[in-house]
Structure 1
Amino acid sequence: MATDSFHNENIQKLIDSVRIGFRIQNDVRVSEQSVKIFWKEDYDFNWITAKQLINHIDHVFEWKRQMNSVRRLSTEDFYEYVLPYRSIPDNSLTDFSDIYFAFMDKYLKDIDKDSVQNVVQRYNFVINQLCKFFPLYPYEEEIGYQELFFYGFHDCIPIASYGVSILRACGIPAAVEFNACYKQFQGRHYHGVVLDKNGNWLAFNPESSIPTSDNSSFDTKDILNIYRFMFSEQKDTPFFMEKNGEYVPDIFDSPFLKDVTSHLLKTIPLILPYRETGNNNLAYLAAFNSGVPSGIIPVTWGKINRTKQNVTFSFVIPDRYYFPVYYSPFGKSFSFGEPFYLDKGGKIIKSHIEGKADDVTLLRKFPMKQGLVDKAVKLIGTVIQASNDPGFQPCDTVGIIADTLQPYFQDIKLDMNKGPYQYYQIKTTDEYPHVALSELEFITDIRYGYENVIAASPLPILSSGDTLSEDKTEVRLMDEPLERIKWKSEYDGNPQTSPELYPTIRFMLKKPQFVTKIRMMPLNADNGIIAGNQYELFCWNNGEWKKILSERARYNYITVSIPSGSLLWLRNLTGGKEELPFYVDSDGLQKFIYP
């Protein structure tokens, strides 16, 4: 049957009816049966049977006989990337390889398994098609690989674990990798890699991407070191290199990790002075991360040479900001050098800035994102038009965005010499037909006596010298009650949403009325100081962040006295996750470690 025939209306109705029936039956099954939990929180040898292992080994060696790509593998790679029944050590094991094979192999019989791209493409297709039949994810616990078929949030860990385990069960050499953390954002990501016929490791995200020959589709610009889960013990890991009793950070406390950063990113060796006392064998380079209580995550380790009084790191990524630290036996971090930026050429750039220790004004907890700034720039030339004809024929241009909008409320004054008008619209340019405005209010004067008004949002107060005072005559004009329009992104109170898919926004009144100003905010990440939010300010000092301020912001700025040249971290306890360390320069301006 031709693929196009599936787009026939009658065929689609038939498919939809099958899906509806399947979902109803599945919901009944789910309600009647307990959650499927077979995995054990124990060593595998306590519950995996000899028969399971023998069948698994026989099955995998059969792939070595049948498939050219498996036959070409070195013995070491075969044992590491095809034979193991686990893809992540210590992860829950709900199914065994025979279950994975029985599920997926029937979908791969008509394709060339020596092409890892074809196999992954078919895997993604099968999972995505099955998702169309299953209902929303119904479980609070793990049920096995079938959880991949249910709509709803799925964490990248099971996605990568099941994906790689299923591919291995079908004879594809594969592994799971993860990045230690990100340059600027919280969390980490688990992904899969497959070994192609040329011996290259290709990265991909199961279900959503296909490995490419040059890994160009895998975004690495913001990640720190990448680690692969191995089957065999890796003797060059902190798990084995630590001195008896030495603390090893949790991320590295495993014998099955291998640093594979170099297959996706440029790395360099780096030697740093180390003159600390103690018996540690290891020191670490850490990266900032606001998602952990300590505010830093170690991302790579180095071997200490006490004779030469230095430490050597083998795999360091340039264009990253690092905190050199070591750990006490109880896990407390200490500095063995000042934080530094390693530029793209591998040169250490000291970020120490001699600022004043006087009171400084802080306006942000995270730098403005260039992509959002670019959108604000493209709004220049956007016009506000007014008319008494609903089709805007004719219309008057009563205002224009002439400068780059800043990431907070600001006013565009309108020309009402020919007003009042019944209809208003925000019209973007032909070059950029996207209304990337997150918030929008039509302002009028209370003295007009209009009934369809509510209180307007205040303009920001950005410094102690700001003479801005509330204009009690300004109110917000409404064309509909707020409760009816809050679903619209320009009225939802969220600076991070906007109607940018559309070229215009219209404001349609029941009768002509004066609009004196448009109060608008461009799409932004909401990382400025928010009045009413609770903040903490930390200063980096000898391996840890020490709190120097805790206060609720009264305005859109915070004033604080800081130590000269200190590295700072401003944390919003009320909301938001994006935070980044910064210095304050001699002009009192915040300089973030990444612009």
Structure 2
Amino acid sequence: MNTKILICLIVLFSACSFNKDKQIEYALDLAGENRPELERVLLHYQDEPEKLAAARFLIRNMPRWYGYEGPLLDSIRPVLVQGARNLFIPKVDVAKWQGVSFYSSVRKTDVQTMTACYLIENIDLAFEVYRKYSWNRNLPFGEFCELILPYRIGDEPLTAWRRMYYERYVPLLDSLYPNGTDVVEACRILAGELKKESYYYNTDFSLPRLGGEFLLDNRIGYCRESCDITTYAMRACGIPVAIDFYSYSPEYQQGHMWSVVRDTTGRFLPFWYTQFEASREMKDDGRKKGKVYRYCFGIQPEPIAGITVATAVPSFFKNRFIRDVTNNYSGTNEVPVPLWKNREPLAYLGVFNRGEWIPIDIAKNEGGEVIFRNVEPDNIYMPVGKDGHELVPVGDPFILVKDSLRFLRPDTTRLDIVRLVRKMPLMPLFRNIQKDLIGGRFEAACRRDFKDAILLYEITDTLQSNLIEVVPLHQGQFRYMRYVAPPDYRLELAELAIYSDRDAVQPIELLPLPEMMPVYNPEDLTDGNILTYINLRDSSCAIGFDMGKLTSVGKISFSPRNDDNFVWAGDEYELFYFSGIEGWKSLGKQTAKGRELYYRVPHNSLLWLRNLTKGKEEQVFFAENGEQVFGHEINYRY
């Protein structure tokens, strides 16, 4: 939807908040020739007050919603179908479709295309499960409207998803949890069934949402699609759920979303059916969030009066269909931050992104101080404000540690020596992978069936680097080499090289054994590119290679799946510290001679390491006892 049109709608909705009939009338007027279809729904429920109120809620907010359709989206779907089936998309298809602008497809607005039959079926099925399950007995009607009733999630094409998911999952849930009363247990059971159905995590394409009908049998996408599948299935079964998200991580510079289920006590419990289940202990995947928001179907109040029409405010904060729910995760707090000088009337909570600051929260400038509310602790933040069209620092960077603030103000009279090993924190995904490799074994044999296999090396501890070089435990000559994954863990490796000498000068050509290489693109393991990797779909598996002839094995070199953000020998680096009003200052350039760098840095300073040779991912940190401290490490140190 055009931003100007959206703002006009929001302004109208806000102005008419005292009289919801005017909002209904506005939606009906906007429907144009489709008005009779919406009026037919209202007439249909004239003798059912609760369903009529639900219909009015949907129609009242309908001007906001639309979906994409068209030939481009029709053409990419067969590629996605095969990807979901094979858990793989060929590189030629990725190259063909990766640069296509799918958002140029036809956008169909709901008020002008919605049929009475579709809306009535959606409302009737939603009420059936709302009234059927005892866990909804005390679910407020307003929560029902947001968590079970909505007929769509985002910009997906409209399909009869609710009946499809109802027919597949309601009988299943009833058989597995007959007469169940605990909504969290029902959520766990259904999520467990969803997890049994394979899911291919893929981020190759920038697409509108795929829709319930497509996702019912084609489980492919990234976190958004896994949340959509969850939402369709759970709402079809009367389980009240929503999707929470953060727009930009204070840790690894991406957004993320996951599902939440409303407990009967009113708490929202996070879960992500492919990774972790709902728990009343609020367990999640450990990712840093900063600020958390929830997608809503109905329009939400402005957090600060007037910001929706303020031209200088970033568009994210004008979105009236999200709301701040950080307190559900971090509790409530107030973070008073002094500003350098009294600038604009609004200030923002910023997180780092390649030398810039991304705003994730907004607050009023109260005479040179801003109070941010409900902020996740143990992250590095920067207060920022508008300077023309740019967002610039307007105060000192800070860390919220428990109930206290630590400002990172450099003391240039006191220099500390710090050892640097990375320019970016290790994401939870890679931290887990490196831990999950414990127990992996490298074995050699003279027989192709490995019945005479000899252990050359076993991973016995969490890997601390993305390049591991080891000397084999046993000497001898061998023809075949294999890596065996730890029991019950998937096999994920980025690189493997075998050398006939201990100085790693004479590499041995590795020819994949087809019977032991159940993956696509096995060359990704030996292509010299640490960012490509193989990921075997089965656990307790192995990959094998033919070395061509009997040969000695002098050294094994391997890399787990990783982000390539460790310090590399030969690359040129530059370290900066934040000097307050003067901005970033360089502490000099170095060419790495090994896997670490050493710098003298001002005490209590915010630091930023750049690799001038390659790569774009970088994150700020500070030094403590001579070591780097990224955001995810703060809560372990204080």
Same fold (TM over 0.5): yes
Distance 1:220 1:40, change over 3 A: farther
Q: How does 1:121-200 map to 2 (within 5 A)?
A: 123-124=190-191, 144-151=211-218, 153-161=220-228, 163-165=230-232, 167-200=234-267
TM-score between the two structures when normalised by the length of structure 2: 0.60
Which of 150, 157, 162 is residue 101 of structure 1 equivalent to? Answer: 162
Cα offsets for 1:339-396 (capped at 9, x unmatched): 12222x22222344546899999653235787688789999xx9999999x9999999
* 2:139 aligned partner: 73
Task: Map 1:508-519 onto structure 2 (within 5 A).
Answer: 510=549, 517-518=554-555
Note if 1:215 corresponds to 2:282: yes
Deviation at 1:95, TM superposition (A): 2.0
Q: Greater helix percent: which structure?
A: 2
Q: Give secondary structure in 1 for the equivalent of 2:235.
A: helix
1:348 aligns with 2:405: yes
In 2 relative to 1, CA 563–397 (structure 1 residues): closer, same or farther, beyond 3 Å? Answer: closer
**1:311 match:** 370
Contact 2:156 2:210 in 1 (8 A): no
1:332 and 2:395 aligned: no
Question: Where does residue 254 of structure 1 map in the other structure?
Answer: 319
State which drifts further: 527-536 or 75-84.
527-536
Letter in 1 for 2:139: L
Equivalence for 1:285 = 349
Distance, in Å, in 1 between the alignment partners of 2:392 and 2:206 is: 43
Aligned residues of 1:224 and 1:317 also touching (Cα < 8 A): yes
Shift of residue 103, structure 1, vs aligned partner = 0.9
Alignment check: 8 A CA contact 2:148 2:239 kept: yes
**For residues 414 and 220 of structure 1, what CA distance do their matches in structure 2 show?**
37
The Cα shift of 1:178 comes to 0.9
What secondary structure sits across from 1:222 in the alignment?
Answer: coil
Whether the aligned pair in 2 keeps the contact of 1:237 and 1:257 (CA below 8 Å) is no
Q: CA deviation at 1:49?
A: 4.2
Q: Which amino acid aligns with 1:302?
A: A
2:532 pairs with 1:475: no
SS at match of 1:198: coil
Say yes or no: does 1:320 pair with 2:412. Answer: no
Structure 1 residues 341-490: aligned runs within 5 Å? 341-343=399-401, 345-354=402-411, 364-366=422-424, 408=467, 412=471, 439-444=496-501, 474-476=505-507, 487=522
Shift of 1:151: 4.5
Whole-Å separation in 2 of the counterparts to 1:48 and 1:324: 44
User: Would the alpha carbon gap of residues 42 and 212 (structure 1) be closer, same or farther in structure 2, given more than 3 Å must change?
Assistant: same
Q: Which has the larger radius of gyration?
A: 1
- Sort the Cα spacing of 1:554 and 1:196 in 2 relative to 1 into closer, same or farther, 3 A: closer
Question: Structure 1 residues 68, 585: closer, same or farther in 2, change over 3 A?
Answer: closer
Write out per-residue CA displacement over residues 229-251 of structure 1, whole angstroms, 9 at most, x where no aligned residue. Answer: 2344332525x453963532333
Change (3 A) 1:186 1:501: farther
Equivalent residue number for residue 460 of structure 1:
none
- Aligned mates of 2:509, 2:371 — CA distance in 1: 65
Taking only aligned residues, the RMSD between alpha carbons, in angstroms, comes to 5.9
**Separation of aligned partners in 1, 2:209 and 2:366:** 46
Q: How much identity, in percent, do the aligned residues show?
A: 24
Q: 1:439 to 1:391 in 2, by over 3 A?
A: closer
Following superposition, the deviation at residue 321 of structure 1 comes to 1.4
Farther off after superposition, 267-276 or 114-123: 114-123
**Contact 2:494–2:559, Cα closer than 8 Å, also in 1:** yes
Is the 1:181–1:289 Cα contact (8 Å) retained in structure 2?
A: no
Q: Which residue of 1 aligns with 2:53?
A: none
Question: Residues 332 and 543 from structure 1, CA distance in 2 versus in 1: closer, same or farther, beyond 3 angstroms?
Answer: farther
Secondary structure of 1:147's match?
Answer: helix
- Structure 1 residue 270 corresponds to structure 2 residue 319: no
Amino acid at match of 2:404: K
Contact 1:323 1:335 in 2 (8 A): yes
For the structure 1 residues 337 and 558, does the alpha-carbon distance in structure 2 shift closer, same or farther, using more than 3 Å as the test? same
The offset of 1:320, in angstroms, is: 1.5
How many residues are aligned here? 509
- Secondary structure of the residue aligned to 1:305 is coil
- Aligned equivalent of 2:565: 527
Say which structure, 1 or 2, has more relative contact order (CA 8 Å, 6+ apart).
Answer: 1
Give the stretch that moved more between structures: 174-183 or 207-216.
Answer: 207-216
**Structure 1 length as normaliser, TM-score?**
0.63
Question: Gapped runs of 5+ residues in structure 1?
Answer: 1-18, 24-35, 446-455, 458-473
